[in-house]
Structure 1
Amino acid sequence: MRIGVTGGGGFVGRSLVAELVSRGHEVVVVDERPVGCSERHSGRASSPDLARWLAGCERIYHLEWSGSFRQAVDDPEGTRKRNLSSLQNVLAVGIPVVFSSTSLVYGGNLSHPCREDQDVAPRAPYGQQKLEAEGLVRAAGGCAVRVFNIHGRGSTDSAQIIPRLLASVASDQVVRLNGDGLQQRDFVHVEDAAR
């Protein structure tokens, strides 16, 4: 099967592309970073060439997202505009989309174990933007995957708890936790998320 992956050169994208290739799929990646795949187009999902690049694909995994949690807080309207515009360009291609969302859509309503039909109430712009994007994807017949705290080799996010804990332990430093220490987190290895 010919499959498109936007953001295929990112942390999760690289593992997803490797998984799809290992299953024998022809993978078309749209990303500015190089990655091992059948075909790569150096660009972004907002490109006017996107439909041509993804011609013949039977599915698109849309992983590209412009801006971090912090950037969404600092510039909520700018990140919203960029991300939803890119998503609308992907949806306009007319190929079923699997969208990479986030657990942050649940806001403070997260219980353990979490169910996908649990109420959503994102507190921050990042989660609000992802939830809005989910609605657009569903309206176009696609689906969203709400992945929780992804970790593993290749992560460059120093704000994530696992890299911080490992760095503290490796340097014999005190492990610093925010809050009261009673928080619960679900962690998913990047290779498991790709499967």
Structure 2
Amino acid sequence: MKILVTGGAGFIGSAVVRLAVARGHEVVNVDALTYAADLRNVGDAADSDLYSFEHADIRDRGSLDRILATHRPDIVMHLAAESHVDRSIDGPAAFIETNVIGTFNMLEAARAYWDREGRPETFRFHHISTDEVFGSLGETGQFTETTAYDPRSPYSASKAGSDHLVRAWHETYGLPVVLTNCSNNYGPYHFPEKLVPVVILKALSGQSIPVYGDGGNVRDWLFVEDHADALLLVAEKGDLGRSYNIGGENEVTNIDLVRTICAHMDELHPEGAPHADLITFVTDRPGHDRRYAIDPTRIRSELDWKPSVTVEQGLRRTVEWYLANRDWWQPLLEREGVGKRLGTG
């Protein structure tokens, strides 16, 4: 297949690019190269004849039309998005412009391309979203594909809006779409303002490790390479118009996650151990959702997919990767906003 990936220089998008090229697919990476993107993320895929890159912003409809006409993809996998909740609190406009208007542009460009090509039955538009659109759970229950939307942050509201647009374009115009909503990702190439890399790099430097509130917020953690595998499966075999929740089946409180990372750091980088002594509880973010949990029944039963990595295994692999790849993350610490407390309202 020829797959066009938006946001392919980002964290999840680059994992999709690497895996797709490794499996022999031709990949067109479309990325605006904003602060959280890095072309190094695609790794060895950049050296393959199957890979090409287009520097373009999904807010620029003209560029999207040109790229689709030039490359004629079989599948569009739309991952490009502003995704950091704390940044959405401080600057929500960028999230509306990219996640809502950008997705609208992608849908219109894809629809025009699909029409020009004679509406091929093999074409698909895969929209990748988040479980945060569903809001916050209590102590029990899980998100299913039919859970009512209840976004609580500018980020999740913008992603909820994009999800609704995708469904509307399917129902109104017949655009062949599939949707996925994932739980919290982690793994190699994770931009160093997110929780897991923050903990690793703070422990490595002997700085305080910030934990929001009481640390009792629960997330379902999904190793990014497992997520990429699921995304390619849904893109190829998911039923049109259908959504699939993708979770890691690894519910962990933030404080337990941080302590697990510290324990791996104690073993793999003993200098400064015990690293858990660096944990510091800080003021919570406004509107911090208490718990997310994914019910993976649909993707397991219909597409026979399940995660291959436990959170314990995945965190160890992630710590090992960051310890071995200082040349990758060190320059990123100088980018705007990294290392600063954002989203305090």
The CA RMSD measured in Å over matched residues stands at 2.4
The aligned runs of 1:74-85 (5 Å cut-off) are: 74-85=90-101
> How much identity, in percent, do the aligned residues show?
30
CA deviation string 1:86-108 (max 9, x = no partner): 21111112253212211211222
Q: Contact (CA 8 Å) 2:192, 2:198: kept in 1 or not? A: no
CA deviation string 1:5-40 (max 9, x = no partner): 011111111110111112221111111453425221
Residue aligning to 1:148: 183
The 2-side partners of 1:21 and 1:158 are apart by 28
Residue aligning to 1:158: 193
Q: Which runs of 5+ in 2 are unaligned?
A: 34-38, 115-123, 171-176, 230-345
Q: Contact (CA 8 Å) 1:109, 1:120: kept in 2 or not? A: no
Q: Given the alignment of the two structures, is residue 97 of structure 1 paired with residue 125 of structure 2, yes or no?
A: yes
Match of 1:70 among 86, 91, 97: 86
Match of 1:54 among 68, 78, 81: 68
The 1-side partners of 2:133 and 2:105 are apart by 23
The 2-side partners of 1:79 and 1:184 are apart by 24
CA displacement at 1:155 relative to structure 2: 0.8
The 1-side partners of 2:198 and 2:98 are apart by 30
CA deviation string 1:51-75 (max 9, x = no partner): 2212321211111114632332223
Q: Contact (CA 8 Å) 2:26, 2:51: kept in 1 or not? A: yes
Residue aligning to 2:275: none
CA displacement at 1:130 relative to structure 2: 0.3
Shift of the 80–192 alpha-carbon distance from structure 1 to 2, 3 Å rule, reads same
Aligned to 2:217, what secondary structure does the other structure show?
Answer: coil
Match of 2:157 among 102, 117, 128: 128
TM-score normalized with structure 2 length: 0.51
Q: Contact (CA 8 Å) 1:3, 1:57: kept in 2 or not? A: yes
Q: Contact (CA 8 Å) 1:6, 1:44: kept in 2 or not? A: no
Q: Given the alignment of the two structures, is residue 42 of structure 1 paired with residue 90 of structure 2, yes or no?
A: no
Shift of the 104–157 alpha-carbon distance from structure 1 to 2, 3 Å rule, reads farther
Greater share of helix: 2
Aligned to 1:185, what secondary structure does the other structure show?
Answer: strand
The 2-side partners of 1:147 and 1:66 are apart by 15
Larger Rg: 2
The aligned runs of 1:174-193 (5 Å cut-off) are: 176-193=210-227
The 1-side partners of 2:200 and 2:91 are apart by 31
The 1-side partners of 2:163 and 2:135 are apart by 15
Aligned to 2:89, what secondary structure does the other structure show?
Answer: helix
Q: Which runs of 5+ in 1 are unaligned?
A: none
Shift of the 2–112 alpha-carbon distance from structure 1 to 2, 3 Å rule, reads same
Q: Contact (CA 8 Å) 1:109, 1:121: kept in 2 or not? A: no
TM-score normalized with structure 1 length: 0.85
Residue aligning to 2:134: 106
Q: Contact (CA 8 Å) 1:28, 1:54: kept in 2 or not? A: no
The 2-side partners of 1:71 and 1:181 are apart by 20
